[in-house]
A and B are shown apart, each in its own frame.
Chain A
Amino acid sequence: KNEVEQSPQNLTAQEGEFITINCSYSVGISALHWLQQHPGGGIVSLFMLSSGKKKHGRLIATINIQEKHSSLHITASHPRDSAVYICAVIRDFGNEKLTFGTGTRLTIIP
C-alpha cells in the first residue's frame, strides 16, 4: 500500500463545476504540498500546508493532521485548470524530501 494515496485517479468535469481532489497519508508528516503538472512536464507547487487551510484565487487547500487527510478544491473550474495534481508529503522537516501520491488527472470540458 502506498504511503500517500490520492483519489480520484482521473476526473472529468464541465467548466464551472466545483472540484475536489483528496489525499490520504499513512505516515507522520511535517508538511504537505499540492503540486500541479501541465502537459510537457513542469511542476509547480500550489500550496505547502502544515495545518488548517490556505486559499489562492480559485484554489483552496485544507489539511486535517489528526485524520491524515488533505483536500484540494477548485471553484468555478476552467479548461486551463486541466492538469495532473499531485499530493506530496514531507516526512522530516529540514531535509524537504518528498513522498508523492500518484496524481489525479483533471480534465475540464468547456
Chain B
Amino acid sequence: DVKVTQSSRYLVKRTGEKVFLECVQDMDHENMFWYRQDPGLGLRLIYFSYDVKMKEKGDIPEGYSVSREKKERFSLILESASTNQTSMYLCASSAPLHFGNGTRLTVT
C-alpha cells in the first residue's frame, strides 16, 4: 500500500521555536507539496518541490522554508513559530496524488 507519512499527528510548540515537519513518501514520486488547511480558507499551498533540491514558493510561503535533500523526504521548516501558524499541515506527493494524514500544529 502506497504511503505518505507525516512524522507527527499532533504537535505543540512555543512562539519563537524552530519547528520541523517531516514528510516521507515511498512511491518514488517527483512532486511533493506542503499545504496548510484553515477553517473558512480551505487548503493553501505553502511550497512544492518537483525534484531533489528543487523548490518553488506556493501561495503563502512567508514564515516557512523547505528542504528536499532526498527524493522521498520533504521537510517544512517554521524558522520562528508564531501563533498565526497554528493550523493543520498536510503533505502530498504525486502523481498519482496521495496525501499524508496531516499534522495539527498548535503554537502557544
Contacts and interface: CB of A to CB of B under 8 A. Distances in A.
A96 B31 CA distance: 8
Contacts of A86: 42-43
A43 B96 contact: no
Nearest to B45: A97
B94 interface: yes
A100 B45 CA distance: 9
B99 interface: yes
Interface residues of B, number: 24
Sorting the interface of chain A by its residue count into under 10, 10 to 19, 20 to 34 or 35 or more gives 10 to 19
- Chain B interface mostly: strand
B48 A97 contact: yes
A88 B24 CA distance: 23
Interface string B38-68: 0011111100101000000010000000000
A44 B104 CA distance: 18
Contacts of A103: 42
A103 B37 CA distance: 11
Contacts of B94: 96
B12 to A, nearest CB: 16
Interface string A82-110: 00001010000001111011110000000
A48 interface: yes
A40 B31 contact: no
Contact of A101 (B31, B42, B58, B92): B42
B45 A98 contact: yes
Interface in A11-56: 33, 40-45, 48
Given A41-B101, A43-B90, A97-B33, 18 more contacts: A33-B97, A41-B88, A41-B90, A42-B99, A42-B100, A42-B102, A44-B99, A45-B96, A45-B97, A45-B99, A86-B42, A95-B31, A96-B31, A98-B33, A98-B45, A100-B44, A102-B41, A103-B42
Interface of B: 31, 33, 40-45, 48, 50, 58, 88, 90, 92, 94-102, 104
